[in-house]
Structure formats: C-alpha cells, structure tokens
Amino acid sequence: MPDKSKEQPAEFALRNIKIQPGDIVILLDQLGRVTGWNQVAKQVLGYKAAEVKGLPWDGLFPYSGLNVKAVLAGRDFAGGFEAIRKDKTPVELYFFATAVKDKTGQVTGIACIGRDVSPFWRPTEEALEQEKKYRLLFALSVDGVVILSSRGEIIEANPSAARFAGLPLEQLIDQPVDKFIPPEQFREALAFWLSLLRKGKRQETLRVRSATGEERRLFVQGAVLETRQGKRIFVLCRDVTTESQTETAWREAEVKFRTVFESGAAARFIVTLDGTIVETNEAGARLFGLRREKLLGRRLREIVPEELKAILPQIRTALLEQRFHQVEVVTRRQDGTELWLVVSSSLIELDERTLILTMLKDITEERKALRESKENEARLNLLLSQVPAVIWQTDNKLRITSVAGSGLAFLGIKPAEVLKKGIRELLGDKDEIEQAHRRALAGESALFEFERRARVYQARVEPRRGVEGEVLGVVGLAQDVTEKRETGQRLAQALSQYQTLVENLPILIGVHQDGRVVMINKEGARLLGYDSPAEVIGMSVLDIVHPDDWPVAVSRIRAALEQGVTNPPIEERFRRKDGSYFLVEVRSAPFVWNGRAALLVIGQDLSEKKQLSERVQDILSHTRAMLQYAPHGIVAGSEGRIVYANPAFARLFGYEPEEVVGKLITELLPVYELERLQGYQEARAQGRPAPAEYQFDGLCKDGTTRRMSAFVITYKVGDKLYLLGFVNPVKEG
C-alpha cells in the first residue's frame, strides 16, 4: 500500500482529487489568490509559500488562460502555458484546475494541480522548419491575419492586417481589436466574439473602420486554439468591400441586369434555393460544354465538379446568413489540367422570388502567374535573408530603400531602423563610404572597407539603373572578412613556420608520388649526398632504396596508399650519390600533395642516432604536432570525396581521421545544406564564381549539427579539379 501521507500532504487534503508525487499543487481562494503552495511548486518555480501567499493567480501566471470565475462556476480548466521562475528562466507548465467544495457542498476555492512539461516542449528541427514556413506564409498572405489574446488584444498581425487597420505594423500590436469597430457595429461584433469563444469557430462579415477613418467590409473567420502561452484567437480577414458594393449596385440596377448577366467571360447562373438552374448565359453553357437549353431545369450540383459540389451546402448556408458569398475552388478539367474558379454567389429578388445568382470565373492563368510570382518572390526574399552578407539599395539621394542579408544580425541592425535613412546609419561615418556611393551614382563601380562592432567588412557598390539605363540609385553588398583575414594570417604564419621547420630539421623529410620524389628537405638531400633538393626531385624511389629492401618498401607503399594506414618505423638502406649505402629508420604515412594521394617519408640516419636521439625525439615531436595537431581543420577533396583530412578536421565532426578519408563530402552535411554547398561545388567545377569563405552547418557523427566557417581554394592537376579547405568552428556570440 502506498504511503498516503507522502502522496497527499495533510494541508492539501482534497476531496475526490488524487495528488501524485511530483505534482505541483496550488490552492486559490474565491478571488483567485494563492492560499496554498506545496514543496514541488517551490522546487519547480523557486518561490517559497510565504512569498506567494495572497498573490493573484494572474499575477504569477499572466498567460495561463485560467478563468477563475468560470472554474468556480463548475467549468474545469486544463491547458499548458509558459511561466517564469524566480530566477527569471522560462518553464513550460500544464495545469488542471477545478473547484473545491467543503462537506456541505459549498465552493470554497480552486485546486490547481500541475506538472513541469518543459522537456516535452523542445522544438524539433522539423518543428523549426514548419515555423519558418508558417512565418513566411504569414507575412506573404494578402488576407489580414491577426492573433488575439482572450481579452481581445492584438498579439501578432501581418502586413495586410496593418493595411486594413491603417497603422504601421509595430503600432498595431497590443491595440484592442474593438478600437476598429464602428459604434453602430458593436452589437454584431460582440455577438460574433461571444459565439466564437463559445463554439471555437465562427465566420461573419463585419464593417471595420481604420485609424484614418476609412471603412471596409471584411469577411472574418475566427478560431480559438490552446497554445503554450494560453488561449489564442486566430482571425483571418478578407476585404469584401468591393463585392459588397457590387451587390448593392446590382440591386439598384435591375433594369440593366440582363445586359450585365450576358456580358463578360464569366459563367453566370440563376438558380432557385434548391439549386435548380432557371437561367444561364452563353459563358455558362461553354464552361460545361452543353447547350443553354440542356442546362435549364437541371440541378447545379449535377454538373459542377466534385470539389465545388462538396461546398454547395456551405455556400447556401452562408448566403442565407450574409446574402453574399465568394470562394475560390481548385479542380481539374476533363483533360486533367488544373482549373481555378472564383465562385461568387448572391441572393437576389427577381420576379418576387428569392433566387441565387452564381458567377463562375476562370482565373487559372491569373492564379498560375500569381503563384509563380509569389514563389519567386518568396525564394528571392528567403535567399536574400540567408546570404551571409549585407545587401542594400539607395535612391539617388543615398537614402536606403531596402536592406537584407543575415549579416544584419552581426551588425545589430534591424531593417526598419535604417530604411529611408542615410548610408551612414548603416555603414558608419567614414568619408570614403559616401565617396564610393557618389562614384556609383556617377556610373562607376567602387570598392571600400569599413569596420563596425570590431568586425571588418569588404564592400562593393554599383549604380542601380532603370529601364532606360538611367541611374536610379546605388546597390551595394558587404561581406564580413574578419575571419578570412585572421585565417589567412594564421595560415600564412603556420605555412611559414612549417616551411622553416621542415627546411631546417636535421632529419630526412620527403614526399613521393607515383613512385618518384616530389619534395625533399635540405637535410634529406645532404644525407643522400646531394648539394641541393633540386637534384633529388624526380628520382625514382627504388633508385634510393637498396634492392634487397625493395619488396618490403613496395609492400609498405601499397598498404599506405590503398588502405590509408600509417606504417610503423622500419630500418631500410638508402643509397648515397656516391653509391654507398647507409642505414635509415623510415616512417611513412598517407599524404596529399597537390590534391593527389602521396606518401610522406621521415628518415633518420641511424649512424648518428645515438648522438642525436634526444634532439631527434624533440624534432619528431614538433613534426608530429605540426602534422597531427594543427589548430584548424584541413581537408582535401576531389570529385565530391575526401582524399585527406587532418585530425583537427576529423574531431570537428566527431570522427577519427581514418574514418573520414574516403567519405563523400555530402555525408558531413545536413540535408538543408546540400543544395547550397553542392551549388558552390558545381559552380567551381564549371569555372563560375563561388564564395571562397562561408559558414555552414556540419553534420557530426552523433547526428548533431555544428556551425562552422570554411575557407576554400581550388586547383587543378591535369584536367582534375581539387578543393582544399580550412575549416574552423564558429565562435558563439
């Protein structure tokens, strides 16, 4: 039997409510003030009971959506929301609230039992991607979209809604929605609001008045949803002012009805309330491929496409409530091609009968063009927002007319802060910046550099021309080259140090490729009896190795090149220029030389090993550190596959070096990076420009992603293209 005293503390003994270990328990009085606060609540939220006693629930949890009066009246509450702990960190909670009664049945307060559900609210990558799509559609919608609190305050809105309201988008937030309802419309608006809250969904045609006094008729569709922040009302508004005016005009011009009915390319039908066709025009007959006489007397649902047939009852209901309805329908013609129709229906009084006038307009070409335009615009805006740079345009007075690019975040600038302002607001006060823009206005290209927030940017401006070639303003692009410069400096320094070290090491260091020496240091040439490395370059490896040692040497070369293994030390005899031989301790490992597989050889003259052992060990440690512990990742690739990677590069992705060599480069990239980086690769292969420095998300061995920066150069050996990349993690912040 469980210990009930632990499961349900005495001070929270509640009738018909079972409290489980880990439950947050908060008791409220009839005014919604805290009277009880258990230990779990203290642990999760950080407040002691004495700190919160007497505080109102809404003061502690302003976004919960809990209605104290409704719960006291018998309506239980359940929902999730975000709260703030005492240490100011967020926490996701889920609560159930119900009225508490005494033994006599009298309601004495409210019991709130909850759980910390934060671990279940972490957004997945798919959820984040869906959020991006939602935000894009939200911004592009031609309909007004408004998100309201349960009190009717505007929490979020899109540009179309701001246009309806006659206010800038930022001023629309936090406004009460009833501010835009004309006084004579309050009763209808209130009825709509109460019905929406009661049923969860509602649609209505309402009149609104903008901040400038302009009145519109909006077809409003609302839905109530429970979110993590509490109850939210999502409202979609479509401007039907024109349609309403058209309906009025039709009523006032019955004498011209026949002319209007027969005119135009839209199919028109007059049907009874039960859907029987009593009149149609020639366009209606052509739309369905039947003679006009064959249509009269038939039911409309017998001839329309299935998609339209399914919504005919909804249209009829809407007409009876609003007398006008318009909807777009997507269906297919008999040949399978897509068909977009605008179906507009109105109740009309004709010959002392109430009939329905329905107009079907083919807008297929318009919708295809609009869809393509929106897709292109969305792709362009998305591309511009993701470009790792700052892109701007100005007018001929050098006032900024547009600005985009992910580089704005690093500058700490929002587009709205600099629009219609001078270039100094965006790029700084250096005189050469304005001079470069003046040159662009004069028709020239110009380059310049500037610094903002301890970052160095390289910029280029060009004249922005109109259709006739006239200069309308300036277009510019600035890239952050801070890491590129630092990387270049570090790389140059590292290469210089590496070259100095290799050239001055008192051991033989060489590289051979395709069986011939392609690099050797001064000490190596000296040990072989030559005056300079140039005399050794091009020699066959087997001309240097004693014939008796050839089988072992060939076997080690093949193992290193084919299996990617590092050969252990071995003693071999090398031939000097004068024909004598000396004993050498040889180490060899796979290497990449000019983008192709090669073998790195390190040899120590064993005749001097005893005297130089301490020095050689120190030198070998330095050499190993240079090769194995470079401070940045180095990778070489050809035809999309990795042919060399140093340990630092392998560690960036959570691999061992031998696991990385031979992999496809795409195996180290998440799906959403493939198109962009493969585009860079294809551009380089075709000789087109591609960024030399950029950032990307790398796919680690454990499935996580990591933000990295890359500096990439390309070179050719024969007809084959190779890429050499220097990769570093991007510092956070």
| Domain of residue 135, CATH code | 3.30.450.20
Structure confidence at residue 3 (pLDDT): 44
What is the number of structural domains in the chain?
6
In a domain, 642, yes or no: yes
| 384 pLDDT tier (thresholds 50, 70, 90) | low
Structure confidence at residue 34 (pLDDT): 95
Structure confidence at residue 625 (pLDDT): 57
In a domain, 479, yes or no: no
Task: Evaluate if residue 534 carries a pLDDT over 80.
Answer: yes
Structure confidence at residue 496 (pLDDT): 59
Helices (H) and strands (E) in the chain, counts: 27, 30
Q: 227 and 132 in one domain?
A: yes
Structure confidence at residue 19 (pLDDT): 80
| 4 pLDDT tier (thresholds 50, 70, 90) | very low
pLDDT digits (tens, 9 = 90+) for 133-153: 666 767 777 788 888 888 889
Q: Which of 315-329, 545-559, 624-638 has the highest mean pLDDT?
A: 545-559
In a domain, 477, yes or no: no
DSSP 3-state of 706: strand
**Of 121, 141, 173, which closes a domain?**
121
Task: Evaluate if residue 333 carries a pLDDT over 80.
Answer: no
Task: Evaluate if residue 23 carries a pLDDT over 60.
Answer: yes
pLDDT digits (tens, 9 = 90+) for 93-119: 889 999 998 888 899 999 999 988 876
Structure confidence at residue 624 (pLDDT): 56
Q: 553 and 640 in one domain?
A: no
Structure confidence at residue 616 (pLDDT): 46
Q: 288 and 335 in one domain?
A: yes
Structure confidence at residue 2 (pLDDT): 40
Residue 269: both structure tokens together:
């039908």
Task: Evaluate if residue 240 carries a pLDDT over 90.
Answer: no
Range in 23-27, 52-56, 358-362, 380-384 the model is least confident about: 380-384
In a domain, 379, yes or no: no
Burial tier of 399 (Cβ tally within 10 Å: 0-12, 13-18, 19+):
middle
Task: Evaluate if residue 348 carries a pLDDT over 90.
Answer: no
Q: 354 and 393 in one domain?
A: no
Average pLDDT, stretch 383-395?
Answer: 72
Q: 107 and 80 in one domain?
A: yes
| 14 pLDDT tier (thresholds 50, 70, 90) | low
- Sequence letter at residue 607: S
Q: 668 and 599 in one domain?
A: no
Average pLDDT, stretch 55-75?
Answer: 89
Task: Evaluate if residue 13 carries a pLDDT over 50.
Answer: yes
Average pLDDT, stretch 696-707?
Answer: 93
Task: Evaluate if residue 412 carries a pLDDT over 80.
Answer: no
Task: Evaluate if residue 253 carries a pLDDT over 60.
Answer: no
Task: Evaluate if residue 288 carries a pLDDT over 60.
Answer: yes
In a domain, 614, yes or no: yes
Average pLDDT, stretch 57-64?
Answer: 88
d(CA 126, CA 252): 54
pLDDT mean across residues, the chain: 81
In a domain, 453, yes or no: yes
In a domain, 252, yes or no: yes
Q: 137 and 91 in one domain?
A: no
Contact call for residues 602 and 587 (beta carbons, < 8 A): yes
Give per-residue burial for 467-479: e unless 16+ CB within 10 Å, then b: eeeeebbbbbbbb
| 11 pLDDT tier (thresholds 50, 70, 90) | very low
* DSSP-assigned beta bridge partners for residue 583: 573
Please give the residue range of the domain that contains residue 591: 487-628
Q: 314 and 212 in one domain?
A: no
Q: How far is CA 526 from the centre of its chain?
A: 59
In a domain, 376, yes or no: no
Task: Evaluate if residue 5 carries a pLDDT over 50.
Answer: no
DSSP 3-state of 266: coil
Which residue is associated with the tokens 């050809």? 638
Contact call for residues 580 and 572 (beta carbons, < 8 A): no
Contact call for residues 276 and 295 (beta carbons, < 8 A): no
**Of 414, 445, 472, which closes a domain?**
472
pTM: 0.26
Q: 611 and 510 in one domain?
A: yes
H runs (alpha helix) in 296-452: 306-322, 364-386, 407-411, 415-418, 423-427, 431-441
Contact call for residues 300 and 271 (beta carbons, < 8 A): yes
Q: 572 and 597 in one domain?
A: yes
Q: 609 and 536 in one domain?
A: yes
**Of 239, 269, 287, which closes a domain?**
239
Q: 397 and 278 in one domain?
A: no
Which residue is associated with the tokens 């499935």? 703
pLDDT: is 309 or 85 the higher one? Answer: 85
Task: Evaluate if residue 699 carries a pLDDT over 90.
Answer: yes
pLDDT: is 509 or 252 the higher one? Answer: 509
Structure confidence at residue 493 (pLDDT): 62
Structure confidence at residue 246 (pLDDT): 64
